Structure 1
Amino acid sequence: MPVDPVALTADLVRCPSVTPTEGGALVLLEHLLGDAGFDCTRVDRGGVPNLFARWGRQGANRSFGFNGHTDVVPVGNEDDWSVLPFGAEIKDGYLYGRGSTDMKSGVAAFAAAAIDFVIDTPPDGAVILAITGDEEGDALHGTTALLDWMARNGEAMAVCLVGEPTCPDVMGEAMKIGRRGSVTLWLTMRGVQGHAAYPHRANNPIPAMARLVDRLSSHELDKGTAHFDPSTLAVVTFDTGNTATNVIPASCRATVNVRFNEAHSSQSVVDWIGAEAGKIAEEYDVDLDIKVKVSGESFLTPPGDLSDLVAAAVKAETGVTPVLSTSGGTSDARFVKDHCPVVEFGLVGKTMHQVDERVAVDQIIQLKAIYKRILTDYFS
């Protein structure tokens, strides 16, 4: 009997798997996939739950992989919800609940498609599901742990599809063939505290930081590339923590986040900001401290066999030809791209992370059909 992806989505939503809590979601999937003949292994690391499942021969030349996550962001103020956040209530054609869009419906759709496919038409190859419980968190021990374990144990995906939501408004309108990189820098400038009435006895770090923030914000990083929009820099904080009106503060802090295309690397961005900050710190005679976090490098899977395969299946099931996009934030595809060619396709993500997050029931059914067609076409 075919696996119902809507019922499976509802079962997963009822699992309160707020990062990094497993919440029962991976246990549910392990039982379901194991009963269907998949070899399942829990690859937990650093307190993070992960699940690897393979149907077919280990090391098969043709192996199609799916990647996704069952962890979700916090619900926020539960009183703002019109339904129970983990109730999986269906009304007016929508299934409500935290994670319904991002991305338990995607996991349910590819799990259901994979089970039905290997039962209906057992392929000459392998179908692999790599599912993490740590995508919404630090992502240090999620998909990276799965890929590390696969490398140690002779497991490999020839290609991979990440089931994140990719469509802005209409089902089928976009797929991701790459992502921008992301780097965050915490900048601190330290001067000398003093009385506001005697500024010559102090060294105010605020003008120095203001000059730096203006210089960074005014700079055009690039004009975009063939597959990417222009890189962006956003100043997300600027503060001193000073509440007194008659005190020049000793330090000033700012945080900037840069989303960059393949014209840059995280190191080139850090080097540029560091050089600009260093020049201003020297000019204003303030001390400078910089802390850096790289969330991911920019990457691109060039249009070709994999994107053509996915696009054809999407067109066949929806009548829509997806645009090849690199927009949005980071995803776990940034880790998978070092293992094998990877693209992303999923449903409409308009309500992800919002109060009353919800997914159209017919989209879940459609998504399973797309994923099953992809598997059929890949192994045919």
Structure 2
Amino acid sequence: MLQFDASPAAILARLIRCPSVTPAEGGALQELEIMLESLGFAVERPVFREDGTPDVENLLASAGDKGPHLAFAGHTDVVPPGPDSDWRHPPFSAAVDGSEMFGRGTVDMKGGIACFLAAVARVLAKGPPPGRISFLITGDEEGPAINGTVKLLRFAAEKGERFDACLVGEPTNPNAIGDMIKIGRRGSLSGTLTVEGRQGHVAYPHLAENPVRGLVTLLDALHAEPLDRGNERFQATNLEATVLDSGGVASFNVIPARASASFNVRFNDEWTPDTLKAEILRRLDEAASIQRLRADRNDPIRYRVEWKEPPSDAFLTRDEKLVGILAGAVEAVTGRTPELSTSGGTSDARFVKDYCPVAEFGLVGRTMHMANERVALSDLDTLTEIYELFITRWFAAFA
């Protein structure tokens, strides 16, 4: 007999009331541990560390002794809610207003966790686990993503866990439950481009070298031609400059010594991080060799590129059993044929794909990271029904 209210709304309320702003655990993993153990799951909560990053607590829970192994991955950490005054209801109150629940993390992504847990409870109420089921839950998805899923997967592998498929419960639907399943993601590559000049007075430019000119020239070279046109699997690669900096010289009449631009590239499967880096450097070398900081100077533009956090590879899931059964469950419950998409940003699926086939499906994400983040109670019920049918059909496919 269940020892807790296993409706998705009740589970979600318990999680929302935990202020787990990344990287704080905030009580959310503790609540999950209590509920999962009451369902017969063995729960571990490893803490991972790395110099220069906050310690992060994670959760690995498993039930079932043998058979095919299905994992569910997600995160209980949330982004800061901002001022309470921006919210209709306090962000960690899980207030129900009409047909919606308000709270930070309702859709991104405590709601997905609550629905999968509710679905698993329904499956287990009918009998023993049909195979092996695991939860991989991190507190580091909204943070640096260094001490979370990537290390939790390694931790599980070192314990001998092998997964046949994984579902990530991120909010994938643009407008309504059933719109979209993510079957892959573009990669991400970040860097900082710095141009070296010579500081001086703007009234005496012949004595200085303005690096801003060179920076604009090099950025133009990166944007001049599309990196690709996209393909039937992915949208086109795009490079965007995100931060410009000239060293903080607080004066209109000072030419800075250097100027830099941070940039990010979201790339498709026509590139690897290495080939993309090579193309970026080729464009920069070409532009730097033929342009000058001043027309009367012979020296090429002097620049350097510092590549930032480890890049994420583009990937595409081709496992028909996982994708086909998930799409069939979505259509059976909602009547919609979900789009199989690779759009959007990165997620922890980029780590899971190195261990097993992975797909993403969750709630409607229109209010994620916003003030008054909220979820329709009916969507929680619908997603739970989809997850329950998916779990049942996925295990049955191995019979």
Instruction: Give yes or no for TM over 0.5.
Output: yes
Partners of 2:348 and 2:323 in 1: CA distance: 18
Determine if contact 1:193/1:203 at 8 Å carries over to the other structure: yes
| Correspondent of 1:260 among 264, 267, 278 | 267
1:106 equivalenced with 2:112 (yes/no):
yes
- Tell me the C-alpha RMSD between the 2 structures: 1.4
Partners of 1:353 and 1:36 in 2: CA distance: 31
Partners of 2:311 and 2:98 in 1: CA distance: 38
1:269 equivalenced with 2:276 (yes/no):
yes
1:48 equivalenced with 2:63 (yes/no):
no
Corresponding residue of 2:296:
none
Partners of 2:44 and 2:182 in 1: CA distance: 28
Quick check: 357-366 or 281-290, which moved more? 281-290
1:330 equivalenced with 2:346 (yes/no):
yes
Structure-to-structure mapping, 1:237-316, within 5 angstroms: 237-240=243-246, 241-282=248-289, 283-284=291-292, 285-293=300-308, 294-302=310-318, 304-316=320-332
Which TM-score applies when normalising by structure 1? 0.96
1:286 Cα shift? 4.1
- Residues 66-85 of structure 1 deviation map (CA, whole Å, 9 limit, x = unaligned): 10000000012222112101
Partners of 2:106 and 2:131 in 1: CA distance: 31
Which TM-score applies when normalising by structure 2? 0.92
Partners of 1:295 and 1:279 in 2: CA distance: 24
Where does the alignment leave 5 or more consecutive residues of structure 2 unmatched?
A: 50-54, 293-299
- Which residue identity lines up with residue 190 of structure 1 in the other structure? E
- Which residue identity lines up with residue 89 of structure 1 in the other structure? A
| Correspondent of 2:188 among 182, 185, 191 | 182
Quick check: 321-330 or 209-218, which moved more? 209-218
1:295 Cα shift? 4.2
Where does the alignment leave 5 or more consecutive residues of structure 1 unmatched?
A: none
1:19 Cα shift? 0.4
- Which residue identity lines up with residue 284 of structure 2 in the other structure? A
Partners of 2:46 and 2:312 in 1: CA distance: 22
- Which residue identity lines up with residue 44 of structure 2 in the other structure? T
Corresponding residue of 1:366:
382
Structure-to-structure mapping, 1:217-228, within 5 angstroms: 217-228=223-234
- Residues 249-289 of structure 1 deviation map (CA, whole Å, 9 limit, x = unaligned): 11111111110000011222222222322344444334323
1:370 Cα shift? 0.7
Quick check: 156-165 or 271-280, which moved more? 271-280
| Correspondent of 1:7 among 3, 6, 10 | 10
1:146 Cα shift? 1.2
Runs of 4+ aligned residues of structure 1 deviating over 6 Å after TM superposition are: none
Partner SS, residue 107 of structure 2? helix
Determine if contact 2:319/2:357 at 8 Å carries over to the other structure: no
- Which residue identity lines up with residue 172 of structure 1 in the other structure? G
Determine if contact 1:55/1:118 at 8 Å carries over to the other structure: no
Determine if contact 1:208/1:280 at 8 Å carries over to the other structure: no
Corresponding residue of 1:195:
201
Identity %: 45
Corresponding residue of 2:297:
none
Partners of 1:347 and 1:214 in 2: CA distance: 39
- Which residue identity lines up with residue 137 of structure 2 in the other structure? I
Corresponding residue of 1:39:
42
- Which residue identity lines up with residue 245 of structure 1 in the other structure? F
Partners of 1:286 and 1:242 in 2: CA distance: 21
